Amino acid sequence: MRRLWLGYLVFALAPALARPVSAVDLPSQTSTSAPAYQPVIVSNYDWTGFYLGVNGGGAWGSSRYSLGTADSNGFGVAGGLAGGTAGFNYQLGHVVVGFEGDLDWSDVSGSAICPNPASACATRNDVIGTARGRIGYAFDLFMPFVTGGAAYGDIDANVSGPGSAASNQLGWSLGGGIEYALAGSWTAKIEYFHVNLGSFDCGASCGPTSPNRVRSDEDAVRAGVNFKFDAGGDPGGRN
């Protein structure tokens, strides 16, 4: 009888013992999948390419006459300027290197009383141009830059009485600015630069004493727009 009851118990529990373990019987596990990779974009805008543009602004500075042993102690000059620009940029990562040249019409002038003998001294600058290297750092569409190189300009000197003299001068220029890429192939910039055109001897045209030297220095602020011809033929230069 005991064996009969034991067999009956095994027969009754067999279905429960044979039941497969379901997902609800297992402890839950939290998913720890890695986040998706986000690529780092160096720049969406490519500054590489040739460009042409126009610019305009104002300039101020000083002129100094040294007539014999007397010095005018300098006087101020100021005026406007406007002209054209041509250049080329090449981008390496975030760094942009390039070369730029410009030629501007200038209306910068000033005058004062010069000693020895007492007379009116006037200086005028009608043309100014530069040929400069540029290096900038591109923050996508925005690029600050520094620039420097050679400068060219005329100095017209006039001393009331003796007469006048003019000289085309070579000098140097140094400055910096910011440039921003607009829609399509256009960029806009604002820049500051200093121009030193040195001095020249205006001789007897400035007075009976010798030497008679005239010096000119200018600071300029200009705004401009450029049209870039992308190196790959894609207007706007966006990747």
Buried b (16+ CB within 10 A) or exposed e, 39-48: eeeebebbbb
pLDDT (average), residues 75-84:
95
Contact 113, 133 (CB under 8 A): no
Taking the C-alpha atoms of residue 180 and residue 138, their distance in angstroms, rounded to an integer, is 10
| pLDDT attached to residue 74 | 81
- Counting residues of the chain whose pLDDT is more than 90, the rounded percentage is 53
Tell me the pLDDT tens digit for each residue of 54-66: 999 999 999 888 8
Tell me the pLDDT tens digit for each residue of 141-160: 999 999 999 999 999 988 87
42 has a pLDDT exceeding 50: no
| pLDDT mean across residues, the chain | 81
Domain ranges in the chain are: 49-128+148-230
CATH number of 49-128+148-230: 2.40.160
Tell me the pLDDT tens digit for each residue of 96-150: 999 999 999 999 999 888 766 667 888 999 999 999 999 999 999 999 999 999 9
Residue whose C-alpha is closest to residue 65's, from 185, 191, 214: 214
Buried b (16+ CB within 10 A) or exposed e, 189-212: bebebbbbbbbbebeeebbeeeeb
